[in-house]
Structure 1
Amino acid sequence: MKATIPAAMITAPGSGQGKSMVTAALARLHRNAGRKVRVFKHGPDYLDPMVLEVASGQPVYQLHPWMTGEAECRWRLVEAAQDADLILVEGSMGLFDGDPSSADLARLMGIPALPVIDARGMAQTFGAVALGLASFHPEVPVRQVIANRIGSRRHGEMLRDSLPEGIELLGAIPRNDAMSIPDRHLGLIQAGELEDLDQRLDAAAEVLAEVGLDGLPLPVTMEAEKPAAPPALLNGVRIAIARDAAFSFIYRANLDLLQAMGAELSFFSPLTDRALPDADALWLPGGYPELHAAALAANQPVLGAVRNHYLAEKPMLAECGGLMACVEELMDHDGQVHKMLGLMPGRASMAGRLQALGLQSLNTDQGQLRGHTYHHSRLETGWQPLARTRKVAGTEAEPVYCRGGLVASYFHGYFPSAPELVAGIFRGQAFRPLTDKEPDHA
């Protein structure tokens, strides 16, 4: 399958340059102009896609040549291009940061990189930064840049004059409160918590329109093969999934895979619901249980239902925030201790700084589950892990605890990377971790 569509990779020299809000504002600008915009996010990220979905009005999927695989990157983009008018991909960190980097994805798909450069406190050096990005890799062309947070019209003119031949200033965005969005320790505030998000996005889109950023990027031709359907390994299996302000870190692709394998999905809120849906298996994904620990601890009916599910040795997956809810106690940022599910002995305690970050994999006899870790809490437990993830990049590997039907870890998995393993977890089937000397089953 082949498609040709205007597309751009919105990137930056590094984090904090404003690319997330620029991407969201561009999506809203073109959506308001009547175009169908599909947005994707490079790398493991839950929070930016929430905002990008509101901005575009369309589902947002992750693209990462290692985590999701190159073939899936190609297919997601080509599939989206069948009925979209524009594709935007938000990069992660700086253009060349990480392995694989945003630049690697741009090169794989032939999508031009469009850096957003924070120009505060910068004049002619702006041109040097743009030239460095443009000349760093011969297969990653940079022909246009966006200046962000400029101080005046004259400032924008100085930046334009600083650019070398062959690099155009596509637009210069002034400092404006509309171009910001609140954040917290794990990233942006969740989209569902911002009651005025639509108004913020419309205002940001107007800012971009005023500086001439309403044009379409050049068309890109892409080609991909449609993947084979996954095996129907979860036919008739009912999976209840926690989803609310405390448990919200869920990849769309994970839900798609479970349904494609035949699972029946239902959702519940551990914060407000009084009972679980009828289910054969349970999934507690990551999120912010530390911000809602008091409300979670007070909802004894649903906590009791989860305990009964565990005591019946039914399958249960707990990822990161879900793991934190499984222990006896959770200590929040203020030092307050809250009673949790008590399925595992020990305590999860919020720390003053990041405790783990990076790409990881869980290698087993049923497949290699790829994903990442990113958390600000520490776990103390007497349980010994059945397995440990393998560090691909970043901090140390994460323990994976298995007891009864429970599989719990700080590790976030990308389910399509290992369908057989994921189906086995939700069916309560044991897996065997591979040693470092054994070959991976990718």
Structure 2
Amino acid sequence: MRAVIAGTGSAVGKTTISTGIMRALSDEYNVQPFKAGPDYIDPTYHGLATGNFSRNLDSFFMSDGQIREGFENGMKISGADMGLVEGVRGLYEGISALEDVGSTASIAKALNAPVILILNSRSLVKSAAAIVIGFKTLDPSIKVEGVILNYVKNRKHYLKAKEAVEKLANTPVIGGIPRNEAIRVEERHLGLVPAIERENILQSIEKWGTVMAENVDLDALISIMKKSDKLPEGREPLWLEGNKKRVKIGVAKDEVFTFYYKENFEALEANNAKIVPFSPLHDSEVPDVDGIYIGGGYPEIFAKGLESNESMRNSIYKYYNEGNPIYAECGGLMYLSKSINNRNMCNVFSYPSKMTKNVQALSYVISEAQKDNIILKKGDIFRGHEFHYSKVDIGNYKPEFAFKIIRGKGIFGSNDGLMAKNTVASYVHTHVAACPQFALNFTRNAHLIDEK
């Protein structure tokens, strides 16, 4: 059983409704959550709602075969009864005006999954039917099998809008969510606040589940999911394997650094790596590992605490200076810089980073490796994404860069991936499906110091 929960646009309540439905269904079913698009934050809510890691499906990163492989692997690992995919933006929004790449629609097509469409029904009745008709007729291969009306004023409003959609758009309305400030989600500059940072988040998710159970016909939803046909044929692997030596990879993982894809860890483990979590905020030194992976997050929010942990910053610098491999992305790049908003960081790269009022980059990225490095060989092409309000001020210096940005912005002048010794730090977030050699090369290059 599977379904895609999509929206007519952003800010229609997809995350609250999707997470609430996942929570409500988890009382009786093992639900495997998924998120369309390159999102680290919404999946943290899904995981708390279901007890299963939420996985990303993205048609810019993945071929249709990889999307099916990722979906099937997630279902198999969790032993789930059903898979629910929360969409991104509007159902049809992708990287271009006309094509499907990067859209929720492309995921629904690859999975041959029915779509539940959420729309903001505030002040709408007959017009709600017109919106549904438009979404259904734009691409008839997309199977919009149900509608959820959000922000309904009262019972009378819900019943009128439901009648209009069902009779004029010939589509069942399976829920109507009342306007309720108690189920709003806190946001900041990169989207929702990660679940790990929110107080009483489990109580909030329980509340969302209760609201959805009371206002969505879950039996109708299950009936729609049961009608989903078999997954289409065709699978492609998400990553390369081949490293034979056992290695330990330290992963910066705490309330600061939370932006990781589950598949990246699985790819490392498939290449003989043991993942060793550590906290740059709370621990005093780097663990005994053969390489370090520092993902993205909100180091600017925790800059004071990171600065105060001088022993960890010194340990990171010593680890780097001895030639050990470090790979860092976005927030990790900032942590390895000289400073964040004038607060001292690791100084692996002697350039300050600072937050700005405006977004500096928000884009899917295509990059080419300009030099051999710990994750890529010269000439390798890989895909990723960037989303940040910070910038690194390299001044008049000419640092060594690992990547040339073909699509996107990067750090400076279409360059990204600051390099020094065996460290690479980039604004590009990596998913192994779009950089399948990542884990193989990183594990092969782990503990380079021992091989000198």
TM-score by length of 2: 0.87
Partner of residue 218 from structure 1, selected from 222, 225, 228 = 225
1: CA distance, partners of 2:383 / 2:439: 11
2: CA distance, partners of 1:106 / 1:329: 43
1: CA distance, partners of 2:433 / 2:414: 21
Partner of 1:206: 210
Alpha carbons 1:47, 1:189 under 8 Å: kept: yes
Q: Which amino acid aligns with 2:437?
A: E
Partner of 2:303: 293
Q: Which amino acid aligns with 1:241?
A: V
Asked whether 1:177 is paired with 2:171, we answer no
In the TM superposition, what whole-angstrom CA distance separates every residue of 1:336-393 from its partner, at most 9, and x where no partner exists? x201111112211111121101111333446433211110111111324232232179
Alpha carbons 1:257, 1:416 under 8 Å: kept: no
1: CA distance, partners of 2:123 / 2:244: 56
Partner of 2:13: 18
Task: Specify whether residues 285 and 201 from structure 1 end up closer, same or farther in structure 2 by C-alpha distance, changes over 3 A only.
Answer: same
2: CA distance, partners of 1:134 / 1:359: 27
Task: Specify whether residues 116 and 244 from structure 1 end up closer, same or farther in structure 2 by C-alpha distance, changes over 3 A only.
Answer: same
Asked whether 1:232 is paired with 2:242, we answer yes
Question: How far 1:226 sits from its partner (Å)?
Answer: 6.5
2: CA distance, partners of 1:52 / 1:10: 13
Say what the alpha-carbon RMSD is for the aligned residues.
2.2
2: CA distance, partners of 1:279 / 1:330: 26
Partner of 2:41: 47
2: CA distance, partners of 1:195 / 1:158: 38
Task: Specify whether residues 24 and 397 from structure 1 end up closer, same or farther in structure 2 by C-alpha distance, changes over 3 A only.
Answer: farther
Partner of 1:439: none
Q: Which amino acid aligns with 2:93?
A: D
Worse-matched range after superposition: 203-212 or 298-307: 203-212
SS at 2:350 equivalent = strand
Partner of 2:434: 417
Q: Which amino acid aligns with 1:401?
A: L
Question: How far 1:81 sits from its partner (Å)?
Answer: 4.5
Question: How far 1:66 sits from its partner (Å)?
Answer: 2.8
Alpha carbons 2:5, 2:118 under 8 Å: kept: yes
Question: How far 1:62 sits from its partner (Å)?
Answer: 0.8
SS at 1:139 equivalent = coil
Question: How far 1:150 sits from its partner (Å)?
Answer: 0.9
1: CA distance, partners of 2:131 / 2:422: 53
Question: How far 1:394 sits from its partner (Å)?
Answer: 12
2: CA distance, partners of 1:344 / 1:393: 20
Partner of residue 32 from structure 2, selected from 38, 55, 66 = 38
Partner of 1:196: 200
SS at 1:399 equivalent = strand
2: CA distance, partners of 1:197 / 1:349: 30
SS at 1:93 equivalent = strand
Question: How far 1:177 sits from its partner (Å)?
Answer: 3.2
Structure 1: where are the runs of 5+ without partners? 332-336, 430-442
1: CA distance, partners of 2:409 / 2:175: 35
Question: How far 1:51 sits from its partner (Å)?
Answer: 0.6
Task: Specify whether residues 62 and 398 from structure 1 end up closer, same or farther in structure 2 by C-alpha distance, changes over 3 A only.
Answer: farther
In the TM superposition, what whole-angstrom CA distance separates every residue of 1:193-242 from its partner, at most 9, and x where no partner exists? 22322211121111122224322133222145666684232631221110
In the TM superposition, what whole-angstrom CA distance separates every residue of 1:245-295 from its partner, at most 9, and x where no partner exists? 111101100000000100121011010101111011111111000000011
Q: Share of identical aligned residues, percent?
A: 28
2: CA distance, partners of 1:371 / 1:30: 33
Asked whether 1:387 is paired with 2:403, we answer yes
Partner of 2:58: 64
Counterpart mapping for 1:127-138 below 5 A: 127-138=129-140
Partner of 1:87: 83
Worse-matched range after superposition: 213-222 or 198-207: 213-222
Question: How far 1:19 sits from its partner (Å)?
Answer: 0.5
Worse-matched range after superposition: 192-201 or 247-256: 192-201
Asked whether 1:116 is paired with 2:132, we answer no
